[in-house]
Structure 1
Amino acid sequence: MASSDPSREFGLSEGYFAQSAFLADEFIEEISRVDLEFARKNAEFGPKPFVRTFERALDKLETAQSELGKKISQLERSANTYAEDHRKKMVRLKQTFATVGSSFERLETQISEVGSNTIRIGEQLDTVAKEKERAEAIKELVEFYAQLNEGNTRNLDSLLEGGAEGMLKVAQTLRRLNTIVVDNEYSAPADAAAKRQIEKYSENFEKAMLSTFESAYRDGDVHSMGIAARALDAFNGGVSVVKAYINQHPFFLSSMVGQAHDSIAEASYHAMDGVSDIASRPPPPDRWLVQLYADTRAVMFKDWAIISKVFPRPIDLMQQLLKRVFEQTIQAYLETLLSRAESQSKLAFLRVLASSHQETRRLVEDLQKFDAETITPAVMVLETARRSGNNPQGLLDMPGDAQTASAQFSRSRSKKNLARAENGSDSAAIDDEDDLDDEDAARERLGEARSGVSSAVAIAALIGRSEGDSAGVGLLHSFLNRCCDDLFESYTAGGNYMSTEQGHLKDAFRQILVPVVRARSERQGPSRSKALLGMLSSVTGGAGTGSTGTGAATAASDAASAGGSANSGNSSMPGVAEADSSISTQILRMMLEVHAEAITRAIELESEAAAPEAVAALSGQLITTLGDDYVFPALEDVLESLQDQKQEPDVRTFDVIQVANIVVRLLQMHFQRAIVPFVGNGNYIYRDIVAEKNQLMSRVEMNLNLIINKFVGASKQWIGGILSKQRKSDFRPAEDDFTAFEAGTQPCRQCTEFLQRVEQACRKDLGEENQARVLTEVGNALHEMLMVHLCKFVVSVAGGLVLAKDVSRYRETISGFGIAALNDKFAVLQDISNIFLVQPSALKSLLEEGPLARQDRATVQAFVQMREDSRSSSLVKQFAS
């Protein structure tokens, strides 16, 4: 490569023409470097050397180009040759791969055919074996049938003497023989003897097994119970033995359940003090019901260890036992308890219904947890053992971990209740631990059944959840939910509960508002003004209780703690007498407490899908009653009281405004805390209830604004009426009337005292924005009236002192408002009062050089004219000039 590189022929470095950044200018500069240096040295430029150099370079480039073309052609021919050889090799290789693939496919087909033949042979052998077993079984049945037809039972009797396996064999044989008898019911009369003998022997066998089971049950012999139960299960599906177990169960014979339900419910109802009192907290769940559920837990947890060892299908027996408990014991007691409560009052019925449902749900959840953690895994292991061909009866003694699960679970629930329940059933107690197999042996049998698979993985796979999932759903989950729903369906289905709840809520609100309605009806009489003053007096006490806002449920609870008793049949409400005439936070708190309790019951008793609509319906009822029957009538009364122009506007009106604002805030808190979490957010139910609530709040705000405006207007008229009583002699007092100089005029004192009461009430009951608004309007109105009022009276020299005293008092009162604009206006009014104090000679400088120089000249002139000496001293002319 180095010898054929054309770069050297030009005197350039090797690989010059192969570089990526080749530039023609640089190339020309390189080949002409020698000529350039020669020209520089001689200081003379001649083109001929350069021409000869470029001609030689051009010749060499053309030669190099020709050689390069030849080289490229040679390489292309070589590449084509190599490509053709490669293509031929790939074709041969592809054909070889296709041949190998075909060979593998033929081999795979042959293997598949061999496998299919093997499977068919295995199936045929299995069929033959089954047919052989069936033929032997049929032969055996025919022999037993023939023997029984002849009255011979020796073979069956000998099987019975063979222990558990013999009993199981007799049970299976009798079941098949009975099937044959049923199928050949219309056969020849010769078979009648066999039929009678089979039926008789079957009856005796069943009685003997039941007798054995019952005797073992009483003696606590779990092993004998299991033998008899398995035999009867093989004989008739275990119907009779399940019935015997349930009928003799001590739970249904205990002293508590054996008592008359009426007497228990009566005692239970009387034990729940205040169940019909809307002002008291809901009582705890019925203690007898709680005890019944504790006994139910204890029985179920304890019995599982026995049932799982005794019965081949323990899950079926657990269902039958639970069904009996729910449908017979629990349902009968609940019906009696609820009937007693319903006869007393709606509230008693609703409270007992909700607390009973809540306690029942706790029972169901505990049983579901026990089912998911203990029952279902054990049943799944037994099912796995059956499928794997192992003897499932050997697994009925559960391993140690499953053995003790029920005891551990029950202890975690309530040791005290379960101990009491166990002590109460000593008559038929069974010592489980004495009859349980050795823990190591049980674990060994369980390990054999699972064929080496770990217990956690095997059980999780059978149940259908991952190994780490602890929130599994057991086999009895849906069954227990259905049992709970069936207990309360008649009380909640078809809108029965909501109808009762809404009726109670209506009655409760009416009961709370009875004092308000009565007081309002009294105010409609002739002495309306006195009744209204009494109403305003009552608000002061109510406002103090609502100075701090809390959540709906908390506020309701605080209100409840302030009172005594209020039965549904008695309208004596606690804490209402002092605030029974108008809007108060006490009454609102009681309404919110009643409503919060109703929502709690609705969430408890309604389904998850129906709960939002139920909460919205109850909330709509609260909003409607609160507005139409309570808040708006009270605000209307206040508005009407401000229509009387002959009476001073009562500043306690602001107490009503304050309490109304507190009512709105409490309602908003109640809405956020007790309503929104249960109706959702963003759905149509939420939008509707928010719109209804906002409409109420907007109406309240509009009425409060109207009351404030009405009060401001009434205040203006009242101030105007006071000023109209100003006497002309007030500003022309006698020289020795020192009282007028010190105290000012009576209208001034009345106005300022009224303004101080308004200012104090605003500070106490209104927010800063409303304070500024009311005080500004009242102050501006007073200033305007004074500017007109003071121009009506002639003022003597001594009267100027009285007028200055009045203006100073007005200014001092207005300064208490804390509004800069009003302070400036009354400062100007104070300057105007100086017009009546200065000497005539100093008046011109006061008007032209002092603060009054910036005031309207016509206004100032009007005050100057009211000086007593204005005509005699030609003050008007001086001022006009």
Structure 2
Amino acid sequence: LPTKLFTMDGLTKLQDELTIEDFDCLHFVDTQALKELRENPARQKPGAFDPDRLTACFERVVAQLDELRAALHQDQSRLIERAKTEESRCRDEVASIYATFEQVRDHFDQLDRRITAVSHKAGHLGDQLESANGPRERLAEMELLVRHLHEFCLESRTSFELTHGSPKLAETAATIQKLYQICSEFPDTDEFLKTKQRIIEQYKKVDEFLYKEFESAFLSKDYNYCHRLSVILASFKAYSRCTERFVTESLKTLPYLDSDVHRELKQCVSRTMESARLIFASPEPVMCDFIQAIFSKRLKDLVANRFRQVDPNDRTAYLKVLESVHQENRRACDDLAELHLGVDLAKLSHTLFLPYLSGYFQVERENLNERCQMVLDRYYEEQGHVRRKEVLQQQQVGPHNLLQHIFSGASEEQGAGRVLLCGLSVANIVAEVSQSCSRCRHLSQSSEFFQRAKELADIFFRYIYDEHVTYGLRLAALGLPQTDEVAQRPNLSFLEAVREANMIFHLCESKYSEILAPALKSAPGGASPQLAQVQERRRAISCGLEAQIQQGLERTLAAIVGHVRHLLNSEQKAADFRPPIGGSDGGASISGGATHACAQVCAYISGHVVGRLAFLDGKNGQLFRDELGIRLYRCLVEHLHKFKYSLSGGLQALCDLTEYMACLKPVRHSGFLVDGHDLYDVLCKLLNLLVIQPANLHDICEEESLRSLSREVKQSFIMLRTDSGSAEVKAALEKI
């Protein structure tokens, strides 16, 4: 290649191409090759290509790159050398600055020591000057006081010049104040009496003048002059009059309407506090007097006016007003506490409401008793019911006749079928107790709240359980008969009463835990004798209700079974199971349906018993159904043993049993089992012993469902056959 010196412009262009952001070496090679081909004249000839010229181009570009690298290396070396030189220079400057700083610090320490020494000397000199000038000033002050005293003694001065805004007002007031203190030590002798009287008279004039000045400045809102006067008056008797006047005028800024006082009290006190800080050097005592005046005058009158608007005989309105005013006052005190007044607001509130809170709980207790009794009376009046206590005062009557008197204007049948238990009335009583408990929490001291909560719990239990639930259950139980066999269809309203009692009990337990339990646990330590007494009362109520319900359910079962027994005994005829023989084979025609007695029993159970069983749910309902099913089973077995059965009579008994099983299906379940077999299915198998051939009796008795029964039970049913005395039946009995 021919030797060629590269210009700086060429290197610069090449450097620009190499330093682009997305540089690609392959693209760079392609670019150089294309440039060379465009400059080659041979390119215009088709198929002409000069590889040597392209090689020379690449070698030239490589040489340019080498030269560029060498130039960049030289620049790098120069920059490194320059950086080292600059670093060395900066190190020298930092060392020089550090040395200068050390010198300045030393000079500062020396200056600080000198200033400290000079300040000590200045302080010592000041103490010496004060010790020298203090006695001189006190001596000059004493001389001035003696001169004024001497003038009062000689009657050459009987007053001081007092003018509005005088710059010497503070000095004059201080002088007469000191003279007043001095003359108070004088004896009441003739030689000092006149002088003493003149000084006292002048002191009163100054005192009155300063008060008038303060009053005028305060009314004109010249608070700067008021502040100056308050400082002067601090040692005068008129200072208390000034604070009283400030308090009196500030009370006038409170709202005129009673309804706005508590709501705007904080804003009024805040404005008054700002004025007090501008007027008095010590505003805290003044604000304390102002707050006490608010409670003892304005709020006291407000509370009295609110109670004067209430009828003294209306306890409910009285308690509502008391709670409302107390709550408004408590919120106002909470707002005032944010101002940090340094006043015991709780004590002021207690003093304000003490005349009303001293007998509060007696009114609360009487009102709650009255309200709860009114709820129950209203309910019984709506039901047209006269309380049993009033009936028993008329004459001694039995349960049957008593029902005729319990419901005024209603027949015995209508009266006996009604349940006097109302969840809505109980909810109203709970609401009254809840309101009383909430009011008691706000109006009682924490030390006496849990004791009062125990009395509220007693009222809660009394009216809900003693006066309503227990009474309603006892009244519902009066409709249940006392005899084993019931001729008239018994009243089963007790089952509905049980449902209502259970709902009321669960409601009251929930509300007790929500309302009364937290109050009773608020005693110190979380437990108290009152809480133990209430817990014992709850257990006694629960046990009493359980026993009363159990007794009533037992009588209900007896009444149902007794009526079924009466229907069977009165309606069932022996001819139903032993009809006249109508053929040579000893058979008889079968009606194909249930007997009249069976129809009556099924109609009673399906129409009057099964529907009432829905009132009992849960475990109690299932136990009641079980016991009813078992007792009815025993009743049927007992009834079936009263008759003799022919072949057709046995078939009729099976028909009746099928009807019984169908109507008793709601009270039958898997618990009626004897060795895995349903009781009624076993009874059906036993009735089959009445209709099968004597030769097959032994085989039937050996079936799985009858195998576990005793020999006496199976024989007792076989003996009910009309042919039980035949040789075939006797032979079969011996095999069993």
TM over 0.5: yes
2:353 aligns with 488
| Partner Cα separation in structure 2 for residue 707 and residue 134 of structure 1 | 104
Pairwise mapping of residues 326-341 of structure 1 onto structure 2 (< 5 A)?
326-341=295-310
Tell me, yes or no, if the aligned pair for 1:745 and 1:802 is still in contact at 8 Å: no
What secondary structure sits across from 2:721 in the alignment? Answer: coil
Give the AA of the match of 2:654. Answer: A
The CA deviation at 1:640 is: 3.1
1:595 aligns with 433
Tell me, yes or no, if the aligned pair for 1:536 and 1:653 is still in contact at 8 Å: no
| Partner Cα separation in structure 2 for residue 675 and residue 521 of structure 1 | 30
Pairwise mapping of residues 508-547 of structure 1 onto structure 2 (< 5 A)?
508-515=371-378, 516=380, 518-521=386-389, 527-529=401-403, 531=407, 534=414, 537-539=417-419
Give the AA of the match of 2:302. Answer: Y
2:596 aligns with 745
**Which digits, 9 at most, give the CA deviation of each residue in 1:283-329, with x for residues without a partner?**
xxxxx44x111232221011111111211221111111111111111
The CA deviation at 1:827 is: 0.4
The CA deviation at 1:825 is: 0.6
What secondary structure sits across from 1:370 in the alignment? Answer: coil
What secondary structure sits across from 2:281 in the alignment? Answer: coil
Identity of aligned residues (%): 18
Change (3 A) 1:851 1:241: closer
Tell me, yes or no, if the aligned pair for 2:672 and 2:679 is still in contact at 8 Å: yes
Pairwise mapping of residues 141-540 of structure 1 onto structure 2 (< 5 A)?
141-148=145-152, 156-157=160-161, 162-163=166-167, 166-184=168-186, 186-189=188-191, 192=194, 195-196=197-198, 198-236=199-237, 238-249=239-250, 251=252, 255-256=256-257, 288-289=258-259, 291-341=260-310, 343-371=312-340, 375=341, 475-476=342-343, 478=344, 480-493=345-358, 496-515=359-378, 516=380, 518-521=386-389, 527-529=401-403, 531=407, 534=414, 537-539=417-419
| Partner Cα separation in structure 1 for residue 663 and residue 166 of structure 2 | 115
| Partner Cα separation in structure 2 for residue 499 and residue 128 of structure 1 | 76
Give the AA of the match of 1:602. Answer: C
| Partner Cα separation in structure 2 for residue 624 and residue 147 of structure 1 | 89
| Partner Cα separation in structure 2 for residue 788 and residue 132 of structure 1 | 132
Give the AA of the match of 2:506. Answer: R
Tell me, yes or no, if the aligned pair for 1:804 and 1:830 is still in contact at 8 Å: yes
Change (3 A) 1:189 1:292: same
| Partner Cα separation in structure 2 for residue 529 and residue 250 of structure 1 | 70
Tell me, yes or no, if the aligned pair for 1:232 and 1:240 is still in contact at 8 Å: no
The CA deviation at 1:497 is: 1.7
Give the AA of the match of 2:518. Answer: P
Tell me, yes or no, if the aligned pair for 1:756 and 1:813 is still in contact at 8 Å: no
**Which digits, 9 at most, give the CA deviation of each residue in 1:798-820, with x for residues without a partner?**
43343222111222233322422
Give the AA of the match of 1:483. Answer: L
**Deviation larger for 313-322 or 149-158:** 149-158
Q: Which has the higher contact order (CA 8 A, sep 6+)?
A: 1
1:46 aligns with none
Change (3 A) 1:639 1:538: closer
**Which digits, 9 at most, give the CA deviation of each residue in 1:354-388, with x for residues without a partner?**
221121111112111211xxx5xxxxxxxxxxxxx
| Partner Cα separation in structure 1 for residue 128 and residue 365 of structure 2 | 73
Give the AA of the match of 2:721. Answer: R
Tell me, yes or no, if the aligned pair for 2:323 and 2:439 is still in contact at 8 Å: yes
| Partner Cα separation in structure 2 for residue 860 and residue 838 of structure 1 | 14
**Which digits, 9 at most, give the CA deviation of each residue in 1:21-79, with x for residues without a partner?**
xxxxxxxxxxxxxxxxxxxxxxxxxxxxxxxxxxxxxxxxxxxxxxxxxxxxxxxxxxx
| Partner Cα separation in structure 2 for residue 738 and residue 147 of structure 1 | 153
**Deviation larger for 143-152 or 500-509:** 143-152
The match for 2:642 among 773, 776, 792 is 792
Tell me, yes or no, if the aligned pair for 1:733 and 1:740 is still in contact at 8 Å: no
The structure with the larger Rg is: 2
Give the AA of the match of 2:177. Answer: R
**Which digits, 9 at most, give the CA deviation of each residue in 1:264-284, with x for residues without a partner?**
xxxxxxxxxxxxxxxxxxxxx
The CA deviation at 1:227 is: 2.3
2:498 aligns with 657
Q: Normalization by structure 2: what TM-score?
A: 0.70
**Which digits, 9 at most, give the CA deviation of each residue in 1:548-597, with x for residues without a partner?**
xxxxxxxxxxxxxxxxxxxxxxxxxxxxxxxxxx2322222122111111
| Partner Cα separation in structure 2 for residue 758 and residue 523 of structure 1 | 31
**Which digits, 9 at most, give the CA deviation of each residue in 1:601-631, with x for residues without a partner?**
2211111111111111221233234343333
| Partner Cα separation in structure 2 for residue 762 and residue 875 of structure 1 | 44
Aligned pairs, number: 579
Change (3 A) 1:483 1:790: same
2:516 aligns with 675
| Partner Cα separation in structure 1 for residue 215 and residue 643 of structure 2 | 117
| Partner Cα separation in structure 2 for residue 818 and residue 353 of structure 1 | 61
2:717 aligns with 863
Give the AA of the match of 1:321. Answer: F
Pairwise mapping of residues 70-85 of structure 1 onto structure 2 (< 5 A)?
none
Give the AA of the match of 1:814. Answer: L
For structure 2, the residue ranges without an aligned partner over 5 or more in a row are 1-122
| Partner Cα separation in structure 1 for residue 589 and residue 141 of structure 2 | 137
The CA deviation at 1:641 is: 2.8
1:139 aligns with 143
| Partner Cα separation in structure 1 for residue 355 and residue 606 of structure 2 | 65
| Partner Cα separation in structure 2 for residue 706 and residue 123 of structure 1 | 103
Give the AA of the match of 2:273. Answer: W
Give the AA of the match of 1:689. Answer: V
The match for 2:442 among 597, 604, 613 is 604
Tell me, yes or no, if the aligned pair for 2:186 and 2:196 is still in contact at 8 Å: no
